[in-house]
Structure 1
Amino acid sequence: MRRLASLVYATEPLLYSLHDPIRRGNYYCLPLQDYAAIGYPRRAGAMELKGHEVAYGHGEYMEGNLLCSSYTGRDRRHGEEPLSAREQHKDPSFVEAFLATRESGHFEPFTTRGKSSRSVNLLPDVSNEVNPHVSTAQVSSLQPPLEPARQRNIPRLRMPKLSKEDHLKMQDMTIRTGSRIPMSMVNNLLERGPAPSVFESVGRVYSQPATCQISRLLSSEERPGVHIMGHDCYWSDSIPSRRTIEFRFGEGSVDAEWITTWAKICVGVFRFALNASVSQFIDVLTKCDRAMKEDGSYDVVDLLDDIGLFAEAEIAERRLIANRYRWKLSFDEPEHELLFASALS
């Protein structure tokens, strides 16, 4: 959950560029960098989020019951049962046995009461597991090729910088659908200034001890573009929990190819967060951070290539070029019409 929250915060502006810009003005898919608690404190009676403090607002729905932060929402170690097992066993003896495995010096998984034992070695010696007969030549042949897996076909997309006039236009266009963002929120956004950098926000995410607090960080005053409130403490007892993650900012479509492509992109982001190596993960975050600071240095096509969605990147290129006038997109090399024609073909 730490990885996913960090990745969706970093990549969301790029992923928004695959949709009509009016989606950024929709009250039911609010951009995280613009309106989520991770970017600025809520204005209605919430304490400020300073530095790497635990997310505010936690426990406001469950007074006196913070089991979600100390037990049900805590990290799951290798060998432990799914988190749903903790939700089914909230007996104090279970909770106490679990907390014992989280004390200093303990690294063992929690199984059941009385069966978890103190860890002796955190990192066993695995040198004998390396096959000594594998030659250097064989190892080097397994290295990935230096050439990129796919050559992009279009110039890089420049991220739109929305002015107050742009926000007002979106207000006019969304009012008929009842999805208009209140002007007070827009004014606060414009007065606040730039959103926190990628790594400033990642630091806040990783400082949270439980998924429910990460959920509070990514919450907003309505539905954010990526919605993980299914992991909030609010759902733990009184309401049956559906531990879902919603990518809400995809616009409606009857294009079958794009519908399936967008679904694959959402799943692909989750899979990358789950499976990428540390170096791959940090590399993508670094590039997204640069995209916030250096316009045209990294775009959504680069992102899809970097997370292994090569077929989806091809379709995204065609989608961007097909909509470049309707969405008023700007590219790094707009004069290269031959590239645009080639991408569409």
Structure 2
Amino acid sequence: MSLLFSPIDLGPLRLSNRILVAPMCQYSSIDGCACDWHVQHWTNLALSGAGLLITEATAVEARGRISWGDLGLYDDATEAAFAQALATVRRWSPMPVGVQLAHAGRKASTHRPWEHGGGVIAPGAEHGWQVVAPSAMAYAEDQPLPEALDAAGIANIVRAFTDSARRATRLGLDLIELHAAHGYLLHQFLSPLSNRRTDGYGGSLVNRMRLLLEVFDAVKAAVPASMALGIRISATDWVDGGWDLEQSIALAKVLDARGCHFIHVSSGGLHPAQRIPVCPGFQVPFAEAIKREVTMPVVAVGMITAPQQAEAVLAEGQADAVGLARAMLFDPRWPWHAAAALGAQVAAPPQYMRCAPHGHGDLLLPMTGSAG
């Protein structure tokens, strides 16, 4: 039997298989609101046969968006738009849907990637705003300085994550992933390369972890026990003197003891000096190292593109589940093809059942709960 197509529990949430659609920014929102693009994009991925869809990085306040086109869940308008888009997805697919709650910190206020190279927009310019960070240090030397958060500002960040988590609960979402990876605000507090504070949120590892743990504890207290709650981290900055695997393991142990339901292990994104040895499965060893130290499920991600490769990650005990992003954009039916390659079965809309590949008539199982 294929491990990839066996069920897994992320805390209170049972998934039918171990394929997660990882969050992918679409830069297509209107004032933070989901639109028709999100309806078609999410619905397409929700019909893929994966075990879980996690929507894109979703800002907990307007200034926390990466670009002016990023999705948000920080006021009644963004909540209503998200609800409308999600309702269409739910109509056609029973797949569990989660949201990644995020704050871009000093990496906010940018153009969309296909416009002006995704460069930073200065405060006061069209679509630009003042960004915030642990310390007044820009991501790159030619960028405007961020504003260092004071104690009241930090408290507001915790409150923003908590308020967005309550909105996610009202939306009926199944899972929340806190984004502490890729150089965004929570990661900025973790790394000594971006956090030069001298108060209780800087310096020692305990202090640099403080904000993330405060956010986690506050969100956990604000959502019902039925809501799965996990985190995405960058296991290393890929820069000497930065956040690294040893510190990631220490953080993972603390989160595990606090009842975190899963950890999604990525890397990089904090500093332009990073040197990443990109190759198939290049981040899997980080997931494997963390898995040895925690009881919560560990999700591996990063250039996992072939069914046999994904199966091997699980069979060799390197991770409990795999996240796919770009591979799902290129092939939204990746789970179908993986099931065919691994001799497994996968759920599909009844409208699509007639397309079962020749010789794989028993591959597709009709989704329950989708409209006919």
Q: Which has the higher helix share?
A: 1
Using the size of structure 2 for normalisation, the TM-score is 0.25
Q: Which has the higher contact order (CA 8 A, sep 6+)?
A: 1
Using the size of structure 1 for normalisation, the TM-score is 0.27
Larger Rg: 1
Q: Which has the higher strand share?
A: 2
